[in-house]
Structure 1
Amino acid sequence: MSDERTTRTAVRTITDLARLAGVSPGTVSRALAGKSLVNAKTREKIEAIAREHGFRPNQMASGLRRQKTGVIGVAIPLGHDVRQQISDTFFMTLLGHLADELTLEGYDLMLRRVVPEDDPDWLDRFIGSGMIDGVIVIGQSDQFVRIEDVADGYLPMVVWGNHQQGQRHCVVGTDNRLGGRMAAERLIAAGARRIAFVGDTTPIEFAARFAGAEDVAQRMGADIVALPTHLSPDRASDEIARHLAAADGRIDGIFAATDTLAALCLTALRDRGIAVPDTVRLVGFDDLPIARQTVPPLTTVRQDIAAGARGMVQLLLRRLAGEETESLVLPPQLVIRQSS
């Protein structure tokens, strides 16, 4: 009898129930709320386990979740590079614009840096915390499937990332494949024929940038190779130096996945006595403030980050009002400076 009591009293939270059912906490929450997006067999299994253990969702907590908090959650998942920092210039630029837009709309911002391998249910727990009215996710990282699953039953969520045909979650972001094409076209027009893509192709956005550059290289008879490089500054500098040493003069063009990586490439090239753009042409991506401050200034593919932030907030407000919205894909713009 004591064993039975111990088993029954062990189920105190939705997370406990999810563990027994072999599903995510978000699925349990949606099933107990009667959401039709959870299939009947799964819902019946969850309800049966809940009855067996005498589990009832906390009604006060449920009531609090239905009240407005005036807070929007912003999550940055780092599944592809757990050592990347929120102080990264891209994150800080986008967060600044988001904070401005949310403040104008009367909302506060709650920020979470997430390492998914340590917290697989990070998104379910965040939206089920009762502390936020909606969520903005910055970057899909390697979490596309997790985000898609949550989007099935949770409307007030907008993601900064890359749009793919048929996806269910609402995304705002640049046409990364087109941006990659622009970068490669510029490098080849400047005389490059042996191009290195410096970056990690695991994140969906970077993979699209590389694919676009690869399209152009194949069409125009140039070679391109991906050189995996982390975004965390304590690793990227050493990795870029090793890439250049291994290349030993065999590359004459670099497409860096971000302006931050492009700036590190400039430093590494200078350290090796390689002239930019005379010997190696260089193109970045983002058009962050640093792109105008390097020597030489960076040619880059511009993302309109301010417009993206406005778009994310406006779409989220519409979704908070119960409206299904389409994704927003922004056009990239090639900004030619002196590095190419």
Structure 2
Amino acid sequence: MPDRDTKATVRNITDLARLAGVSPGTVSRALAGKSLVNTQTREKIQRLAREHGFRPNQMASGLRRQKTGVIGVVIPLGHDSRQQISDSFFMTLLGFLADELTRHGYDLMLRRVVPETDADWLDRFIGSGMIDGVIVIGQSDQFDRIEEVADGYTPMVVWGNHAEGQRHCVVGSDNRLGGRLAAERLIAAGARRIAFLGDTTAIEFAARLAGAQDVAARMGLPPVLALPTHLSPDRASEEIAGHLAAHAGEIDGIFAATDTLAALCLTELRRQEIAVPDTVRLVGFDDLPIARQTVPPLTTVRQDIAAGARGLVDLLLRRLAGETTESLVLPPELVVRETA
């Protein structure tokens, strides 16, 4: 008995998934030869793909022929489902991306996804037929999912952390180096017991903490104290207050994974009447506009978000044209102000 309608037109991965009666993610993995898909299902999908002349990279070639003039931008929030895309970092990067895409004649389609409730978030987007390519902002805890999709879909570039040997093309800062710069500054300002605010299930944050740990170990200081902190403002403020109360008098330097967390921390330090930088030194990460507006102004590690946006668009357009591109790792820069 034939599988459903074998005469149906298969234009993209979603059509093939519908025909096979499975999810787009299963199709993507099956066409990439992943062992996660059982043999029977994998062979069925591959047979249907052959019957309809569908190849693993047909998604990309089909989209290039259609030329929708739209680039998809997706923000996966696997590590913190309550984080808002109104977060200052997201809005800053999105602004630069919109400017750059417009300059090249493209519109932007934005999606915020929570992978916990949408396992096929990336497959469905790229297989929708509505976009020419996709930019993923942040790897969150979705590194493996992005890697799997990269096996069969080339017009994709990711803002995030670069790891040796990874298959997906990424643009981002050298986060480990940034973490070293932050810790070195805290120590130079007199800190000897450093804490880190952030959720290290996010790959970029884990790299920043690792860089700070490198410096603490090299200087013979105690390991950096990791204090798990979410990025959603309501949770972060409460968590920071709890961290400071629990470690009162114990820590004299704080490295916040983002400027947003650093600003919330500064507010709580003031509320608890802890002097900055006399008692506690504080360093953020990003150098967002808020870093210059806090009282006192925030010492931070700058990542060139504007250059990153240009790099994301440039690499994506080159991949749409059929090029194979390398990842782009940007150097971070320490910006010394008054909190450390």
Q: TM-score, normalised by structure 1?
A: 0.88
Is this contact kept in 1: 2:17–2:23, CA < 8 A?
no
Seen in structure 2, the aligned counterparts of structure 1 residues 108 and 195 have a Cα distance that, compared at 3 Å, is same
Residue in 1 that maps onto 2:312: 312
Seen in structure 2, the aligned counterparts of structure 1 residues 22 and 330 have a Cα distance that, compared at 3 Å, is closer
SS at match of 2:239: helix
Residue in 1 that maps onto 2:91: 92
Seen in structure 2, the aligned counterparts of structure 1 residues 66 and 43 have a Cα distance that, compared at 3 Å, is farther
Q: How does 1:117-196 map to 2 (within 5 A)?
A: 117-196=116-195
Q: For 2:100 and 2:151, how far apart are their aligned partners in 1?
A: 26
Residue in 1 that maps onto 2:330: 330
Q: For 2:249 and 2:305, how far apart are their aligned partners in 1?
A: 35
Q: How does 1:237-248 map to 2 (within 5 A)?
A: 237-248=237-248
Residue in 2 that maps onto 1:44: 43
Q: For 1:21 and 1:91, how far apart are their aligned partners in 2?
A: 29
- Amino acid corresponding to residue 247 of structure 2 in structure 1: A
Seen in structure 2, the aligned counterparts of structure 1 residues 108 and 249 have a Cα distance that, compared at 3 Å, is same
Q: How does 1:1-340 map to 2 (within 5 A)?
A: 8=4, 13-16=15-18, 20=22, 24-27=26-29, 31=31, 37-38=32-33, 44-48=43-47, 66-223=65-222, 224-340=224-340
Seen in structure 2, the aligned counterparts of structure 1 residues 16 and 221 have a Cα distance that, compared at 3 Å, is same
Q: Which runs of 5+ in 1 are unaligned?
A: 32-36
Is this contact kept in 2: 1:65–1:131, CA < 8 A?
no
Seen in structure 2, the aligned counterparts of structure 1 residues 64 and 152 have a Cα distance that, compared at 3 Å, is closer
State which drifts further: 41-50 or 320-329.
Answer: 41-50
Seen in structure 2, the aligned counterparts of structure 1 residues 55 and 118 have a Cα distance that, compared at 3 Å, is farther
Seen in structure 2, the aligned counterparts of structure 1 residues 318 and 22 have a Cα distance that, compared at 3 Å, is closer
Deviation at 1:25, TM superposition (A): 3.6
Is this contact kept in 2: 1:259–1:285, CA < 8 A?
yes
SS at match of 1:193: coil
Residue by residue over 1:7-29, the C-alpha shift from the partner in whole angstroms, topping out at 9 and shown as x without a partner, is 957x995344565599624346x
Deviation at 1:234, TM superposition (A): 1.0
Deviation at 1:221, TM superposition (A): 1.9
Is this contact kept in 1: 2:63–2:132, CA < 8 A?
no
Residue in 1 that maps onto 2:11: none
Q: For 2:115 and 2:19, how far apart are their aligned partners in 1?
A: 20
Deviation at 1:222, TM superposition (A): 1.9
Q: For 1:108 and 1:20, how far apart are their aligned partners in 2?
A: 31
Seen in structure 2, the aligned counterparts of structure 1 residues 168 and 104 have a Cα distance that, compared at 3 Å, is same
Deviation at 1:329, TM superposition (A): 0.2
Q: For 1:315 and 1:44, how far apart are their aligned partners in 2?
A: 34
Seen in structure 2, the aligned counterparts of structure 1 residues 275 and 130 have a Cα distance that, compared at 3 Å, is same
Seen in structure 2, the aligned counterparts of structure 1 residues 132 and 55 have a Cα distance that, compared at 3 Å, is same
Residue in 1 that maps onto 2:57: none
- Amino acid corresponding to residue 160 of structure 1 in structure 2: W
Deviation at 1:93, TM superposition (A): 0.1
Seen in structure 2, the aligned counterparts of structure 1 residues 264 and 19 have a Cα distance that, compared at 3 Å, is farther
Q: For 1:335 and 1:18, how far apart are their aligned partners in 2?
A: 54
Q: TM-score, normalised by structure 2?
A: 0.88
- Amino acid corresponding to residue 228 of structure 2 in structure 1: P
Identity of aligned residues (%): 77
